[in-house]
Amino acid sequence: MPLLILLVIGLLFVGQKWFSSPSVQPLPYSAFKAALRQGQIQKIQIGKARIRGTHLIPGEQAPDRLPDDAGLKRPGRFVTIRVDDPGLVHELEALQVPYTGQREGGWFTTLLGWLLPVILMVGLWSLMARRMGGAARGLTNFGKSRARIYAEQETGVSFADVAGVDEAKAELLEIIDFLRQPQKYTALGGRIPKGVLLVGPPGTGKTLLARAVAGEACVPFFSLSGSDFVEMFVGVGAARVRDLFKQAQDRAPAIVFIDELDAVGKARGINPMQPNDEREQTLNQLLAEMDGFDPRKGVIVLAATNRPEILDPALLRAGRFDRQVVVDRPDLQGRLHILQLHAKAIRLTSEIDLNAIAARTPGMVGSDLANVINEAALLAARYGKAAVTMDELDEAIDRILAGPQKKSRVMAPKEKQRVAYHEAGHALVAEMLPTADPVRKVTIIPHGVAALGYTQQLPAQDRYLYTQEELLDRITVLLGGRAAEALIFQDISTGAQDDLQKASDLARRMVTALGMSEQLGPYTIEHEPQSMFLPHRTRAPQTYSEATAQAIDREAQGIVEHMARRAHRLLEASQGTLETLAQYLLVHEVIDQSTLALLLAGLCGHGHIPSDLVVRRFNAAPIT
């Protein structure tokens, strides 16, 4: 592209030199005759209407020129209007001045002189457009909508292709009925909703649901992302919004789907130090269009976002997005249905128990479960198997939760021994506490980027609430690995860094946000702005005194220290069991749930641990 620009500049420069002529001095005919008699005319061209030629004119005196050189003359061009002078030719011959005739150019020559540069520029622009593809053509189509339009048979998705979100499907079935027979509702004076907002975590199937609505309703489907509206030029986004709604109303009944609505619908005035006129103009135009179009034409706006808390309140009021449909993480039955849906295209062995896989994947969304099935199929193909077995499904879950195995990462024997005791400490403390989640798997095989081993706990059922005792037990389990290292090696390592971070964050949240503090009481101190569906949160500015901040630090630190001592006491009372689990890990590297139960049952029979541990519960050391 830089070479092409340089070529265009060079051609323009050559064209300017080619088509432009040097400066020409106009002379009256009488001055021309006088110069001819004085011998100042060098040569001329005699045309039908004009006489052109060169003559000698006095030169300018330069600062470094001698006074005697001031009279030197230099040639110059001139033009004069020809008059009827029959003796001119004889006079030229007498003075021996060379002369020629000149053919005057007609209208075609003049027209060509104007058209040739224009043709050259158009040709260069066409060449650049072909080289740039659609980018150059897009320069003239800024205001056109970038929505991808699917005809009713092109979406290829129906509600049969969506699983695990039955409540959301039921809500959207009414929207389909609106589009199929709007007169059923308008005859009673009802008003069809203008907009439906799908909210939920990433990967739960919001976009898939929108396409399924279009496929079931058999109407045109306009699909685009919120970022498609916004450009660097102010006013482009508003023009695209107008064009989008015009196209939708021309093809009504239709569905307009805007994915990632928060890219264009963020609340105005949140950050006055960074105004964005283009985004706000686009949002204003979207609000105006949703107010302006006639709902009786059957145009419904579907939008999806995972950050509804930052949307502008004007978007969420009645008359715009009348309904909000939550597409949440699937429960146990929802995960089972999603797994069954994706497993239809995979060859599975008869031993596969999708119920067990659904129970092992709490918190996973539809995209995660689809990835589990796909990873299992890839692993089975890598191992040369004819069908997918439970081993590949188990490994696929581990890859998604902890990352791929790093068997090539060789640890020193001392490090491997420390990791084994660390993970055995997590597992043993989890099995000894009354409310901790059951241990599903313990391994000292490195996974992912930095995990040298991990202990996987899975709840017996989906959880939505946690008690104070359960949170304290969770902190104790997190600190069990560090306590095992301190007990066995009388020293600690950097392997507990992530555990300490999680335990500290949970203890601080108990004090500041959950009101689980004896000193500060049932009072929320920090109002952390957090997303409804995204896991990360940002720390809010401090709005309390330094004395309160010190009390928070003391209380949170006290919880962590108390649970660390508790974990140490539990492991100290069952040090023989800890030794046995660690030695088993050093030999086999992995302990699954059934093996762990057998190990604990055998140790119970030999009196190493209380008999209640056989059923994974016994009275742990008191919390107080």
Residues with a known catalytic role: 423
Closest CA to 539 of 498, 505, 500: 505
110 Cβ partners below 8 Å, 6+ apart? none
- Report whether 419 contacts 495 (CB < 8 A): yes
Q: Is 64 exposed, middle or buried (0-12, 13-18, 19+ CB in 10 A)?
A: exposed
Could you give the CA distance from residue 423 to residue 425 in angstroms, rounded to a whole number? 5
Q: Which residue has the tokens 């001392």?
A: 414
The amino acid present at 155, given as its one-letter code, is: T
612 Cβ partners below 8 Å, 6+ apart? 618, 619
Specify the DSSP element, H or E, that contains 585: helix 575-588
User: Maximum CA pair distance of the chain?
Assistant: 142
Closest CA to 248 of 211, 223, 275: 223
Question: What phi, psi does 43 have (nearest 5°)?
Answer: -165, 155
Could you give the CA distance from residue 471 to residue 563 in angstroms, rounded to a whole number? 11
- Report whether 279 contacts 227 (CB < 8 A): no
The amino acid present at 57, given as its one-letter code, is: I
Specify the DSSP element, H or E, that contains 336: helix 332-343
Tell me the torsion sign for CA atoms 279, 285, 289, 292.
positive
Closest CA to 94 of 54, 45, 37: 37
Residues linked to residue 80 through DSSP beta bridges, in sequence order: 51
53 is written with which tokens?
Answer: 């030629």
Residues linked to residue 52 through DSSP beta bridges, in sequence order: 45, 79
Could you give the CA distance from residue 195 to residue 318 in angstroms, rounded to a whole number? 9
Could you give the CA distance from residue 209 to residue 191 in angstroms, rounded to a whole number? 23
- Report whether 335 contacts 371 (CB < 8 A): no
Helix, coil or strand: residue 531: coil
